[in-house]
Amino acid sequence: RMEHGVFEDSVGVSEGAVEGPEENERGSFPSDDDPASSKFERAESADIFLHVMQDAKVVFQIGQHAGISSAIRYAASGRGHNEAVRTVARLLCAGAQLDLYVCGGASIYRGVLNCVSRFNINEGNWECLPPMPT
């Protein structure tokens, strides 16, 4: 969990710089200043989330890592949505740069892993990124 520049996990707490949007004087992020665009961005995110959660393989992976009760709840949230939601999600993803990120994990032999890798789908290669704080 990351809050106010502090990364906290089961191992401990470490200070670190958090890159991203800066808060303004009201304590909100710049995208919150325009309610219409913020609402649209949340709607886009929700549509993409619902589309992704209809894939049984994704739900299975979540179930392995978050517990079977979580997987059942996520699967139920993805069922029964009409074709319009799926069509919008496909259109949103059509122009997006789709890279695959693999972040951290745990190993029996090496403990907590802090590595981050990105697979560029267009070029077909992996790139190592700076490690996460652990």
Q: What is the pLDDT of residue 5?
A: 44
Is residue 12 in a domain?
Answer: no
Give pLDDT, residue 81: 55
Mean pLDDT of 75-88: 60
Give the pLDDT band of residue 132 (cuts 50, 70, 90): confident
Residue-wise pLDDT for 28-37, tens only, equals 444 445 555 5
- Contact at 8 Å (CB) between 89 and 50? yes
Whether residue 76 is contained in a domain is answered as yes
Q: How many domains does the chain have?
A: 1
124: left (phi over 0), alpha (psi -120 to 50) or beta: left
Question: Is 51 part of a structural domain of the chain?
Answer: yes
Domain presence at residue 92: yes
In 3D space, the residue among 107, 111, 108 whose CA is nearest the CA of residue 11 turns out to be 111
Alpha-carbon span 37 to 31, nearest angstrom: 7
Phi, psi (degrees; rounded to nearest 5) at 3 = -140, 130
Residue 83 lies in a domain: yes
108 domain residue, yes or no: no
Question: Quick one: DSSP state of residue 100?
Answer: E
Q: What residue numbers bound the domain in which 66 lies?
A: 42-96
Say whether pLDDT at 98 is over 70.
yes
Specify if 73 maps to a domain.
Answer: yes
Tokens for 85? Answer: 């939601």
Whole-model pTM: value is 0.30
Supply the mean pLDDT for the chain.
Answer: 65
Phi, psi of 95 (to 5 degrees): -100, 0
Task: Give helix then strand counts, H and E, for the chain.
Answer: 4, 6
Q: In this model, does residue 115 exceed pLDDT 80?
A: yes
User: What pLDDT score does 84 carry?
Assistant: 60
Query: How far apart (Å, rounded) are the C-alpha atoms in residues 103 and 115?
Result: 6
